Amino acid sequence: MKLLIFAHRFEAQHFFTQFNFKSIVGKIDNLYIDKDKGQYLLITGAGIINSSSKIARVLERFENIEHIYNLGVCGKLTKETIPHTFKVKVSNMREEYKVGKDSIELASEGLRCLSSLVPVFDKELSVKLSRHAEVIDMELYGIAVVARQFKISLTAIKTVSDSADDSAKDLNFKKEAPLWSKRLFDHYSSE
């Protein structure tokens, strides 16, 4: 079975319309299954702590999970042109104003992603962080650590939602979410 992980339901909305996910009633909120396609879908909530703790509970309870997909939006750090949707090659952790030393390689190709405890809305900070990664999110590193602990392979697919600066505060997530979710779905479907 596969486990599809999203921080927010809006990121997964296209998956709910295209697959037959049914809620799993039990101790873990926002966990769904599509038995015909052999996949679970989990909405974790934002942040490294929410995502890693919820995923650990799912993996302890469901031993039939063989592969994890983390799908979601991210902020663009680099000034360079990058695809709007892509695989992540390496995940690392951003702590305060420094970058962690424990990078986790996820794929042979793709972009580098930092995971931050808080959103980045500062252009100057984005420029500094762009030396370490092209994009930034708030969950992937926690997911990667848990996947590594459980010895389960992980694929991360991200789509750019903003430029990780002041302009991100003005985003209309409700308006943009259908496009982001479709991009994630299309990339996932091509795997």
pLDDT truncated to tens, each residue of the chain (191 aa)? 999 999 999 999 999 999 999 999 887 899 999 999 999 999 999 999 999 999 999 999 999 999 999 999 999 998 888 899 999 998 888 765 557 677 889 999 999 999 988 888 888 888 888 888 999 999 999 999 999 999 999 999 999 998 777 777 777 778 899 999 999 999 999 98
pLDDT at residue 97, as a whole number: 54
Contact 48, 122 (CB under 8 A): no
Structural domains of the chain, ranges and CATH numbers in brackets: 2-189 (3.40.50.1580)
Residues 6+ apart with CB under 8 A from 70: 5, 139, 140, 143, 154, 155, 156, 157
Which has the closest alpha carbon to 106: 92, 91, 93? 91
pLDDT at residue 16, as a whole number: 98
CA distance 190 to 52: 26
pLDDT at residue 90, as a whole number: 87
Helix (H) or strand (E) holding 5: strand 2-6
Residue 107 burial (CB count, 10 A): 14
pLDDT at residue 95, as a whole number: 66
Contact 44, 7 (CB under 8 A): yes
